[in-house]
Amino acid sequence: MSTQKKKHSLLNNAFFREIFFQVLLVTVILLFFWFIAHNTMANLDKRGIATGFKFMSQASGFGIIQHLVPYDETYSFGWTFVVGLLNTILVSGVGVILATLIGFTVGVARLSSNWLIAKIATTYVEIFRNIPLLLQIFFWYAICRSLPSPRLSWSFEDIIFLNIRGGYVPKPIFEEGFSWVIWAAILAIALTLCIRYWAKKRQDATGQQFLVLPVGIGLIFGLPVLAFLVTGSPLGWDLPTLQGFNFKGGMTIIPEFAALLIALSIYTGAFIAEAVRSGILAVSKGQTEAAASLGLHKSKILRLVTIPQAMRVVIPQLTSQYLNLTKNSSLATAIGYPDLVSVFSGTTLNQTGQAIEIVGMTMLVYLFISLTISFFMNWYNKKMMLVER
């Protein structure tokens, strides 16, 4: 009887039940993953497939049409991982910047008092938001592949060329002494931040404003230009020229990159536009009316009153869209853009057969990139939140 009472008392104890069911859940999860791992290893052993990362040091034996670091067929599979990762970061990073610019512009335009501008912005959002991204990628890729042959390239001042093989633009050649220009740019940014901090403290103390924007623009552009002139213009240009059936020299923008970038930017920009619109509408009308009664111009009301308050609503939605754009970049494999999924989880996997290792590495990379974006955006969101006194 005493044993039975003890059991009942334990089951009636809330703390004991919490610990018991948590331990039980963790045990079930661990057993599940152990079973999956054991079953996988057994099946790999039956088929004679070796596991491990030794393949990373083997020569790849295939080319990649776009690489931001030196690469050829003699480089290892490990280096193809780096090349694919850099290509993914490139298209995602540029895509985030362009999508943000498009989204904010269209989001503000949707609320414009000009009927035509508002309707054009609405039409853009409704069209590109409701067409699947993959179809948009195919559409822009078809347009890029419908350009003329190299001999009939579209030319802009004989320095920029567009054809079926991509865009050819001048490539900068940094000569000795250009490091001073870079250091001047870093110094200008640091000075601008210091002036901004000082101006904020001054305004809080005295109420007087200081025009940080024109001073900052003057520093950021003026100091590097001054350093550039003082050091003897240490910058040259490698211009693309037609030689035979193709262009030599310059920098090539492959059509796969252009199509993917345009599709990602336009598609994500439509969602960001709606986020911006919702953020602006969330700002109390009394705020804008009070600002207008003080004699502020509409542009100043938008920049100083509406947008700062709207950002508190926009940032969480913006985070989701940045994450979506980064993960959607994996659709690049559909048109042959050499991103991480195409190069590493595609070609490398087919040649080595190391599916578990390669897919696992790819998943971890996307997880790390997403968590990094989330961390930065959460920090920015916390910074923009209202501080309660």
First to last CA, the chain: 60
Q: What is the pLDDT of residue 8?
A: 59
Q: What is the pLDDT of residue 38?
A: 77
Q: What is the pLDDT of residue 2?
A: 55
Which H/E stretch holds residue 154? strand 154-156
What tokens appear for 307 in the block? 């947008």
Give the span between the Cα atoms of 252 and 101, in whole angstroms. Answer: 24
Give the span between the Cα atoms of 4 and 10, in whole angstroms. Answer: 10
Q: Is 163 helix (H, G, I), strand (E, B) or coil?
A: strand
Q: What is the pLDDT of residue 4?
A: 58
In the chain, which stretches have pLDDT less than 50? 389
Q: What is the pLDDT of residue 259?
A: 94
Is residue 144 within 8 Å of residue 336, measured between CB atoms? no
Please, which residues have CB within 8 angstroms of residue 324's CB and are 6 or more apart in sequence?
268, 271
- Distances from the Cα of 347 to the Cα of 12, 62, 77, 338, 350, angstroms: 58, 8, 10, 10, 5
Cα torsion 272, 273, 276, 278: sign? negative
Give the span between the Cα atoms of 249 and 339, in whole angstroms. Answer: 24
- Distances from the Cα of 88 to the Cα of 57, 257, 301, 325, angstroms: 22, 10, 38, 11
Is residue 330 within 8 Å of residue 366, measured between CB atoms? yes
| Residue tagged 């640091």 (tokens) | 190
